[in-house]
Amino acid sequence: MGARAARVLPVLLLVAVLTGCGDDGYQAKGPFRPLPEGAPPEVGPPTSQPPVPGDPAQPGAGEDGGDPNVVASGLAVPTGVALLPDGSAIVGERDTGRLLQVFPDRAPPRELMTVPGIDTAGDGGLLGLAVSPTFIEDGLVYAYLSTSGDNRVVRFPLGGTPNPVLTGIPRGEVHNGGGLVFAPDGHLLVGTGDAGDPALAADPASLAGKVLRIDIFGAPVGGDPVFSRGHRDVTALCQAAEGPLFATDGSLDGADEVNLIVPGADYGPRGASPLAEVPAAEGGLGGCAAAGSAVFLGALDGERIHALSLDGTGAVVGDPEQFLTGEYGRLRTVVLDGEGALWITTSNKDGIGVPEEDDDRVLRILPPTSAGNSPL
């Protein structure tokens, strides 16, 4: 008898004994399927993607020890973050495509699935995440990712197969974009990069170097997907409820920009002025969160969070505040939850940073700034 058969036989015997016990005539009608336990939906079977290399995610220490700001650690370049209705978050790893559910109480992260088909050359990979505005009803997650031939937006139920929403966004070694956010009106806003070719950002017929506006099926709103153009690398988009839309715009050889996005505007060299500029040494902007009259920016090269205070016209007032400078290394994604806390990812395993033993991490903090006291 082969080794495999030797392992299977005791299981079959156990099943036979269990199904034969008792005299109530019960017959199983199929395999056991646990009922969903609330958001997020019950995760389906694993994908055919090979196992994720390295150690699984490890949570931060409990309340009696460790850093209270750390809600998860041991991740690999966490980039996309999307908040769920129950207060937890889906966190996506750029290079592996793995999705994890991370909890604000620092409970152990739950591995959800691995998104297949990702190409991580250059600065590509799994870049942006957003949950459907009707997630409780449809359970859908949207992702911005790089393949070997393009950048694209896909959607899927957790554990399910990704289906294309918008394809054909130019792909390059650099400037692949990745901003993704749902507007209050339910339309999906997509931030793309110029793929290393500024001429594409100026070309109204190209999807590169743009902020795009589409519906949930990928159709352009008003007949044209281009919402704004002339961008270099829109790594993040953020918008407070019914407030203005902001975009980070990265540069390889100069200051990064934060733009207040006006429909139809051109943000190229001769176009609209940026809301603010961040010097290269303090920049590498990779995240954006908006709340009332405040905008928070995650800086990779600057290893800090920038906080901008805005007046009623949307102009920056006073000097930007900074916090977490140098405390956790390279900071990327920034998302604001309903309690006013910022979820922030570190990016120290991206080949540029210097990782510590428990990197990469997901942080959750209340902003220690006057800007952070702005109403939501």
CB 202 within 8 A of CB 230: yes
- What confidence score (pLDDT) does residue 216 get? 96
CB 209 within 8 A of CB 231: yes
Distance in angstroms (rounded) separating the CA atoms of residues 359 and 67: 13
- What confidence score (pLDDT) does residue 312 get? 85
Q: What is the DSSP letter of 99?
A: E
> Across-strand partners of 330?
none
Distance in angstroms (rounded) separating the CA atoms of residues 257 and 278: 6
Residue range 71-371 forms a domain whose CATH class is mainly beta
Per-residue pLDDT of the chain (376 residues; tens, 9 = 90+): 443 333 333 332 323 322 333 333 323 333 323 333 333 333 333 333 333 434 455 544 334 468 999 999 999 999 999 999 999 999 999 999 999 999 999 999 999 999 999 999 999 999 999 999 999 999 999 999 999 999 999 999 999 999 999 999 999 999 999 999 999 999 999 999 999 999 999 999 999 999 999 999 999 999 999 999 999 999 999 998 888 999 999 998 899 999 999 999 999 999 999 999 999 999 999 999 999 889 999 999 999 999 999 998 889 999 999 999 999 999 999 999 999 999 999 999 999 999 999 999 999 999 975 554 443 3
pTM: 0.83
CA separation (Å) from 258 to 71, 228, 231, 270, 279?
A: 28, 14, 11, 16, 11
Which position has the token pair 């939906």? 41
DSSP string for 34-77: PPP-SSSPPP-S--SSPPPSSPPPBPPP-TTSS-TTEEEBS-SS
For residue 213, give every residue at least 6 positions away whose Cβ sits within 8 Å of its Cβ, in sequence order, or none.
Answer: 183, 187, 188, 189, 190, 220, 221, 222, 225, 227
CB 236 within 8 A of CB 248: yes
Distance in angstroms (rounded) separating the CA atoms of residues 67 and 65: 7
Q: What is the dihedral of CA 367, 369, 371, 372, to 10 degrees?
A: 20
Map out the domains of the chain as residue ranges. 71-371
